[in-house]
């Protein structure tokens, strides 16, 4: 008998991660899941948060969850040029 399973991987995009910008940082995994559900975030956000393996850690920002989250400096936008 063959067992089939679906392996899950977290996939973050700017759009998905932006749904957590207004989260109550710092927050635990459970608090972030609750926030995502209550705020109507896409199910992918909730699924990504559920996949985090932690031991009751507290996250200070989205960068703690997705280290590649771009900061404002990454966009090289010069406001004084416009």
Q: What is the share, in percent, of the chain residues with pLDDT greater than 70?
A: 74
Q: Which is more confidently placed, 43 or 5?
A: 43
Reported for 30-35, long-range contacts at CB under 8 A and 24+ positions apart, including other chains, are: 32/59, 32/65
Q: What is the mean pLDDT of the chain?
A: 82
pLDDT tens column, 6-42: 445 678 899 999 999 999 999 999 999 999 999 999 9
pTM: 0.75
Alpha-carbon distances, residue 82 vs 27, 39, 76, 78, 79 (angstroms): 37, 34, 13, 8, 6
Looking at residue 25, what is its pLDDT? 96
Residue extents of the structural domains in the chain:
24-64
């Amino acid at each position: 008998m063959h067992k089939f399973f679906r392996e899950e991987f977290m996939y973050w995009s700017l759009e998905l991660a932006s749904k957590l910008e207004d989260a109550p940082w710092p927050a635990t995994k459970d608090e972030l899941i609750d926030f995502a559900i209550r705020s109507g975030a896409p199910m992918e956000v909730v699924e990504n948060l559920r996949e985090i393996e932690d031991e009751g850690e507290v996250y200070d920002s989205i960068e703690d969850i997705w280290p590649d989250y771009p900061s404002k400096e990454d966009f090289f936008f010069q406001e004084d040029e416009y």
